[in-house]
Each structure stands twice: as structure tokens, then as C-alpha cells.
């Protein structure tokens, strides 16, 4: 069990770095970096035109890991109250820091639209998709999916004897989101129930990603032998088919955009990476650096756009001919900041949550 957790920590840390590095590479592309540079060519390789995008792969790895470990965490907590207290104390500290920093930087140092108090509060409680407010923190779209999964976890863990039934009930509910007729959404948009159309749009877009999280739960059931190998294999294939169909519906919804197909290709890569890493868990030794990356991965993920974008632009202004060095310096800066956030804030809140829940 310990090595399994270590492997997931390693994956989480590497996935966070992949997202950060991918965002920074795209930022250098926006800056029109010299087309002869190594960084420019690497950025070209990572664009949508290549039909895959490794930050998407990293995000899908995050989703699989959440589906794998969170239900087990709920079972260990033993109650809904303890589970949500720990989730809140785990998610909010770094998120609030990133949210406040983004708001201050946007309002005082950029020409972007002013972020008001109401918008900030709505984002603070992850209600922006329900109330049709703009998301302040770009990476928060994944957290919105995570929170929806958290509310499904108690249902998934209702009874071990009916775990397959509860899983199919939850996955069928999520899958139904992608079946909402697009024409119906367009019709509702022109009525007084505009907010309902917004909800339908969001649920349709989030359906395949939340199904990926649920797939992580199936993998846990199979690998931890809570289900028979035959049952786990069948349910895995059914869930993957549902994910494929949900992404195909997104493709039809946003045609001729191919972003949904890129997500699908990235999901296939993430699924293979996750299973390959887990299969080798007993052969992978303890690596302190990767464990450290796993520990600071969440803080790094939520703060890198807020700090990294402006630090990167500042450095590029001084060394425009060395974009690779600018990206590496910015990445190191974000790693250091994330380390201190984890040590000084996250770990204290996690300890307090454990003390609060007994």
C-alpha cells in the first residue's frame, strides 16, 4: 500500500510540473519568441495541431488519482462531516491565497476587467458555474469537477454489497449530462430561463471529465480487489466507452473545434500512464525529490498562473533572447513559493483538520 501511494504522489507531482511547464511554454509563444529557438519548436510540438496536449494528459492523470484515492479517504474518515471538513481544509488554503493574489494583481497591475466583491465571493465558494460568473482562477475549472465528485463520494460508499449499483447510478447520472440536446440548450438561451441554459452547457462540458474521475474509482475497486477482476474489467470498459461517447458529443457540440478530440487522445495517454505506473509500483524506489513534488503539487497547480505569468513576462523583458532560461527560472520560483505555502500553510491546516475531526 505504501508504494502504491508513493507512485501516486510521484504522478501527481510530475503532472503538476507538466501543467505548469505547458502553460509557460504557451505564454512564451504569445510573446512571439524567436522561431529558431528550441523553446519555440517545443511549443509548436505541444500545440493543438499535433492532436495531443500534455497538460491535458496531466489533468486527466489528476482526475484518475482523485477517483482512486478520495473514496478510500472517505471510508477511513467514517462520516460525511469528517470527510468534508478534511476536504475543505485541504483545498481552501492554497486556493484562497491564489484567489486573493489573482484579484489584487488583476485590479491593481493589469488592464483586465475589474474583479468585484461579489465575483470574488462567488468564486470563493465555487459557485461561479451555477451563478454564471467569470472564473477568476483559470485552473479552477478542474476544482469545480472535483467538488462535484466529492458530493458523489458518500453515495459511492453507501454500501459495499451494492457498490456496483451505486457506481452505475452515479455514472449514469453524470453520463446523462452529455445527452442534453444541444438544440434544447440553444432554445433555452433565448428564454427567461437563461441561467438554466448556462447550467446545461456546463454540465455537458464537465460530463466526460467527471466520468474520468469515476473511472479512477473503478480502477481502485479492481486493483485493491474490492471487485472481482472480471467485474472491474467489464465496468472499466463500459466507463471508457461512456467517456468516448461524452467527448464525441462535445466534438459535435463545438464543431469544427477539435479540442474535445484532443482531450480524448490525452485521456487515452493518461489512462495508459496511470496503469503503467501502478503496475510498476513495487519496482519504483523512494525518490525524495518526486515525493516533494507530490507534496507541493496542489499549491503549485493553483498559484502558478497567478505568479508565473507575470514573473515570466518580467524576466522575458530583460532576457528576450533566452526564453528557455526564463521559463526555467520562473518554474523554480513557483516551486519555491509552493514549497513555503505547503510547509507554512497547507500542512498546518491539514494537521488542524485531523485534530478537529479526532
Q: What pLDDT digit, counting tens, does each position of 50-102 carry?
A: 556 778 899 999 999 999 999 988 988 878 999 999 999 999 999 999 999 99
Structure letter (DSSP) for residue 52: -
Domains of the chain by residue range: 2-357
What pLDDT is stored for residue 92 in this prediction? 96
Q: How high is the mean pLDDT of the chain?
A: 87
Give the separation between CA 107 and CA 268, rounded to whole angstroms. Answer: 40
The position carrying cell 472499466 is 236
| Averaged pLDDT, 214-241 | 94
- Count of Cβ atoms closer than 10 Å to residue 338 Cβ: 26
Per-residue DSSP letters for 290-322? Answer: HHHHHHHHHHHHHHIIIIIHHHHHHHHHH-TT-
| Averaged pLDDT, 130-140 | 91
User: Is the predicted pLDDT of residue 327 greater than 60, yes or no?
Assistant: yes
Give the separation between CA 238 and CA 172, rounded to whole angstroms. Answer: 11
| Averaged pLDDT, 126-155 | 93
**pLDDT tens figures, 20-55:** 988 887 777 655 555 445 555 655 555 555 556 778
Amino acid at each position: 500500500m505504501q508504494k502504491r501511494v508513493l507512485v501516486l504522489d510521484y504522478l501527481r507531482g510530475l503532472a503538476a510540473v507538466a501543467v505548469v511547464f505547458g502553460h509557460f511554454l504557451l505564454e512564451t509563444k504569445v510573446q512571439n519568441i524567436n522561431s529558431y529557438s528550441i523553446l519555440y519548436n517545443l511549443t509548436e510540438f505541444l500545440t493543438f495541431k499535433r492532436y495531443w496536449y500534455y497538460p491535458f494528459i496531466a489533468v486527466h492523470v489528476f482526475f484518475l488519482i482523485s477517483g482512486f484515492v478520495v473514496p478510500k479517504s472517505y471510508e477511513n474518515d467514517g462520516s460525511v462531516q469528517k470527510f468534508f471538513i478534511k476536504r475543505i481544509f485541504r483545498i481552501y488554503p492554497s486556493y484562497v491565497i491564489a484567489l486573493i493574489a489573482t484579484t489584487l494583481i488583476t485590479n491593481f497591475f493589469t488592464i483586465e476587467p475589474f474583479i468585484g466583491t461579489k465575483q470574488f465571493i462567488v468564486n470563493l465558494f465555487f459557485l461561479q458555474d451555477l451563478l454564471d460568473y467569470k472564473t477568476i482562477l483559470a485552473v479552477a475549472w478542474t476544482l469545480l469537477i472535483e467538488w462535484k465528485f466529492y458530493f458523489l463520494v458518500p453515495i459511492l460508499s453507501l454500501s459495499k454489497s451494492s457498490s456496483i449499483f451505486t457506481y452505475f447510478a452515479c455514472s449514469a447520472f453524470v453520463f446523462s449530462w452529455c445527452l442534453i440536446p444541444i438544440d434544447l440548450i440553444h432554445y433555452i438561451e433565448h428564454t427567461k430561463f437563461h441561467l438554466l441554459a448556462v447550467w446545461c452547457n456546463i454540465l455537458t462540458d464537465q460530463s466526460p471529465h467527471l466520468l474520468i474521475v469515476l473511472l479512477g474509482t473503478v480502477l481502485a475497486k479492481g486493483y485493491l480487489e474490492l471487485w472481482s477482476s472480471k467485474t472491474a474489467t467489464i465496468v472499466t470498459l463500459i466507463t471508457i466507452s461512456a467517456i468516448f461517447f461524452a467527448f464525441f458529443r462535445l466534438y459535435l457540440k463545438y464543431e469544427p473545434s477539435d479540442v474535445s478530440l484532443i482531450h480524448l487522445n490525452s485521456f487515452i495517454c493518461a489512462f495508459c500512464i496511470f496503469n503503467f505506473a501502478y503496475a510498476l509500483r513495487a519496482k519504483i524506489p523512494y525518490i525524495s525529490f518526486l515525493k516533494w513534488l507530490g507534496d507541493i503539487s496542489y499549491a503549485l497547480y493553483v498559484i502558478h498562473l497567478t505568479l508565473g505569468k507575470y514573473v515570466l513576462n518580467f524576466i522575458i523583458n530583460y532576457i528576450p533572447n533566452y526564453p528557455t532560461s526564463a521559463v526555467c527560472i520562473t518554474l523554480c520560483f513557483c516551486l519555491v513559493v509552493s514549497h513555503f505555502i505547503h510547509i507554512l500553510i497547507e500542512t498546518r491546516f491539514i494537521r488542524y483538520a485531523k485534530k478537529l475531526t479526532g
